[in-house]
Amino acid sequence: MRNIWMACLLALNLPVWAGESVPQTTLPLIPEPMECKVDSGYFYFTPSTTIGVENESQLQLASNFVALLGHTVGFLPGIEVGATEPDVRFTTVATMAPEAYRLMVTAERVTIEASGNAGFFYALQTLRQLLPSAIEGQEPVARNLCRIPALTVNDAPRFEYRGLMIDVSRYFVPKDDLLKIIEVASFLKINKLHLHLVDDNGWRIEIKKYPRLTQVGAWRVKRDEPFPNRRNQVRGEEATEGSYYTQDDIREIVRYAGERQIEVIPEIEMPAHTNSSLAAYPQLACPIEDRFIGVLPGIGGKNSEIVYCAGNDSVFTFLEDVIDEVAELFPSKYIHLGGDEASKVNWARCPKCQARMKAEHIEHIEELQSYFMTRMSNYVRSKGKEVMGWDELTNSTLPEGAIIYGWQGMGKAALKAAEQGHRFVMTPARILYLIRYQGPQWFEPLTYFGNNTLKDVYLYEPVQDDWKPAYESLLMGVQASMWTEFCSSASDVEYQLFPRLLALADVAWAQKGTKDWSRFLTRLDGVLPHVEALGMTCARSMYNIDHKVIPEKNKLRVNFSCIRPDVEIRYTSDGSEPTSASPLYDKPFTVDAATCIKAATFAQGAQMGQTLTLDLGWNLATGKRVITTNENSYVLTNGVRGSLRHTDFEWAGWHDQDASFVLDLGKKSRVSEVTLGCITNSGMAVHKPASIRLLVSNDKKNYRPVGEITYTTEEIFKNRTAVEDARFDHLDVRARYLKFEIKNPGACPAGDIREGQKTWVYFDEVMVR
């Protein structure tokens, strides 16, 4: 018996465990089941297999599963309502929790128990993951592979809300591609799809009463620059890029998702992020607004301050009409009203808004937003729906019953709502915003902010030790949020989603205290082929190498790491490509001269990630000490040039302040040329400094200036993303200490795409000849 059991595990390519039961984590299942025991043997699906269901709704679930088999295996097991001795039996157990299921598999039969359709559906997804991934594809599968191991699973989700937000405004995700994402999300037992339908960058849902919302609001001018660098539309410029979902499209999306146990939650953003609707109906903006209002192709600069007029009753009539149609299209019990990042600049100057504040006895302008959101929330509630909103709603009086999404930083603002008894969902930007880089940035598509790796997502625990006990009872669940500013195709969206969405699925479903990163990777490797077979573009960022090169006693210490502990890092130091036979990296090493290091991860002899190239330059400054309070100053002398991503951990930055640092060459040296690496990213308010002053000293006390570089406003704020070095040449000095005094350029000027914002200056390398 034990030999048969071991053979089964080996055939599944699973680890062999001692003992009579196998922990559930050896099975390729995501999310991780609550309880699972593997026995010996297999159940085989064959042309004679029969499936017994109790009713028509179960029949539909079973039919979808059978169709999957028929597509690739070539046979369709029979399904019968009320069958007496089926091979696969659906049995309703009313006492089970709504989404729980029990799956019992022997070599002879499969029994599925649940209290309703959700539980039966999730049991089928577990069966689906245990079948070969090839069943998801287009090629035939051998019948003898259509099998699942004998096991018993008792399973139920940790959270009632297991969400994915897709921003279809910034990048319009075509309907068929959205349906594909829904299919995979349901396969991972995610049960909420939050559709961000409305933003400054496009209105994506047909509203019959207001046709200009899609005739005008769904289209923007084409811009080829990265999202933050895009200039706004000007009057008369044709808008050609965009699209929208018809109401029939929405009905199809909702139906398709519902069949897969996913509730689609619409978001109609207000009072801000509304340039798309205001481009169509500009009379809904404050009457003091005299700028041309167009659909924004990017961040929008000062135009993002244009919001709905809180003093205009026509605004509320318009939004109520929109809610009427949205409420009819979406059977979800929720409507998300946004409420984030609302500028009050126009409200403070608008006579209608000021009159509203006076009439409603509103003393603070933040409470005017509360008035706005409460009024709309009351209308949504009158339609039998519940209101959701972003955590900025906690800046003022919360609408009654509002459910808050904690997003800023680690999402802690949501606890302000919990303190008042409001339910909340955690989607912290620092962890669960999938727009952020998912691996070493040198290899990733351009986006902004920092890293949210697969490991970061998986290890996220929403319930913190310092929470009050009542908070956990109000936590509905977690959500991954996929913002699409930097996406230009459906495959771009998929690349950012997968495999991180698998980690989110585990966080949302698996019980607290069960996390094990290495175990998760084993399961991931079994499930990810299913996702790829379903046609998804999946990133391989988890195999790429992070580096950190640190100056140390005139040398450079090179550190490598990878978030996967089950791969080898192999490297070369002669510029050649690494292979599985190259030296194994097992600890940091030092170099003391110009070196081209290449490294990659390997498993079982195959290269897994992309090749990291560190072309370490060498000059008088390399490996030397930098004296400053900036903790990232080591990058100034580590021999590594930064990329176009100023957040790639190879740039030292100063925000809204002048910068100063001293380079210690170690001894008096002859200096003829000094170069300082600078970067500009206009869309993120990263600019050249106003001036760089170079001074020298031999005693670190008395400095004398030897050069100064200044830049004009036009040079500093030219719209671009570029690395541009500042060079002091034709020097003839002997000095030990080089001091850099750098003047911040000040706030972005009028007309700049980041007008009025404070600026950053970043530097990556000092090069001394």
Active site residues: 199, 273, 341
- The alpha helices in 330-468, defined as continuous H runs, are 345-349, 351-359, 365-382, 414-419, 429-432, 454-459
Contacts of 346 (CB under 8 A, 6+ apart): 285, 286, 288, 289, 305, 306, 307, 309, 353
| CA neighbor of 629 nearest in space, from 654, 611, 650 | 654
Residue spans of beta strands (DSSP E) within 93-130: 101-105, 110-114
| CA neighbor of 220 nearest in space, from 196, 244, 197, 248 | 244
Q: How far is CA 697 from CA 476, 636, 691, 733, 740, in A?
A: 62, 19, 20, 10, 12
Tell me whether residue 331 is exposed, middle or buried, using C-beta atoms within 10 angstroms of its C-beta: 0 to 12, 13 to 18, 19 or more: exposed
- 674-681 and 721-723 strand pairing: antiparallel
Contacts of 490 (CB under 8 A, 6+ apart): 173, 174, 177, 180
Whole-angstrom distance, CA of residue 389 vs CA of residue 396: 13
At residue 637's C-alpha, the angle toward residues 634 and 643, to 5°, is 85
Q: Would you state the structure tokens that stand for residue 303, as one six-digit string? A: 């135009």
Q: How far is CA 576 from CA 521, 573, 579, 599, in A?
A: 30, 7, 9, 10
Whole-angstrom distance, CA of residue 694 vs CA of residue 742: 9
| CA neighbor of 131 nearest in space, from 36, 59, 65 | 65
Whole-angstrom distance, CA of residue 246 vs CA of residue 248: 5
Q: Would you state the structure tokens that stand for residue 552, as one six-digit string? A: 């140390």
Task: State the Rg of the chain over Cα.
Answer: 29
| CA neighbor of 579 nearest in space, from 560, 558, 605 | 605
Residue 383 region by backbone torsions, left for phi larger than 0, else alpha for psi between -120 and 50, else beta: alpha
Contacts of 64 (CB under 8 A, 6+ apart): 124, 259
Contact 163, 479 (CB under 8 A): yes
